[in-house]
Amino acid sequence: MGYEIAKLFSEKGNRVVICGRDAENLNKAANDLGINYIVCDLTDSASVKNLVAKLEYFYKDLSILVNNAGLSFTYKLGERANAVDKARAEFETNYFAPVRLAESLMPLLKKQEQAAIVNITANVAFHPMIVLPTYSDSKAALHSHSVALRLTLSSGTRIKVFEVLPSQIPTNAIKEVSSNQNCLSPMVVARNIYNGLQEDRYELYIGDAGKQHADYLSDPKAAIAKLNQAPF
């Protein structure tokens, strides 16, 4: 999904820089797309400081931050599930990393005429999947943070906060819980993000997530039961 977001925004005339831990994959993606990259472990504060310093020096006009990094473990809660360790790793990537990066880049974003923070959560942010229990927890936390951050920055800054809530996307993270034919195309997500930014739609429910959210608001118990009906 990150690749498709970078590709579309670059095609639309934006100067795009991507970051991640895997230098080899970043180099390949950057070469394919004709963009730049910075190696960074978003779960490491020193690495993030280095990233921010480079962005402040080379990308003084940075106006959009897309928090797309994600980690998930497929398992069920219970004895010997090792849920604490799994949750700690998921929260480091899915929650603490975007919170840290948004806060670190806020001084730079505040200098721009227009700026945006885009947090990628998921449909599980509003109702959990039992096979992605602590991943669901981490996305629910990021959803709550996104709402609070949006309300806070709406007063006194020009930074807009968007949240993207897609239904399942064909990635390694969810390959064990859904077949690819039921998944959402990453390009569809990228187009929805681009259009949503233009239209100031701050919560973007993409794919089945919109219907799932409406069902949840109507009957939470039934909606959660429906989401977890698939044979796991």
64 SS3 class:
strand
Minimal CA–CA distance to 101: which of 43, 176, 155, 158? Answer: 43
The answer to whether residue 135 is catalytic is: yes
What's the predicted TM-score (pTM) here? 0.93
Q: Return the pLDDT at 169.
A: 77
> pLDDT tens digit string along 126-156?
999 999 999 999 999 999 999 999 999 999 9
Supply the mean pLDDT for the chain. Answer: 94
Distance CA 77, CA 83 (A): 7
pLDDT band at 116; cut points 50, 70, 90: very high
Distances, alpha carbon 78 to alpha carbons 61, 124, 215, in Å = 48, 20, 28
> pLDDT tens digit string along 193-208?
999 999 999 999 999 9
Residue with tokens 């429906």: 226
Question: Running DSSP on this structure, what letter comes out for residue 170?
Answer: S
pLDDT at 104 over 60: yes
- Kindly indicate whether the domain formed by 62-227 is annotated with CATH number 3.30.43.10: no
Cβ atoms of residues 38 and 27 within 8 Å:
no
pLDDT at 99 over 80: yes
pLDDT band at 3; cut points 50, 70, 90: very high
Cβ atoms of residues 222 and 215 within 8 Å:
yes
Distance CA 35, CA 121 (A): 25
List beta partners, residue 19: 38
Cβ partners under 8 Å of residue 96, min gap 6: 43
- Indicate which residue of 135, 202, 205, 216 is catalytic: 135
List beta partners, residue 117: 65, 161
Where are the chain's structural domains?
A: 62-227
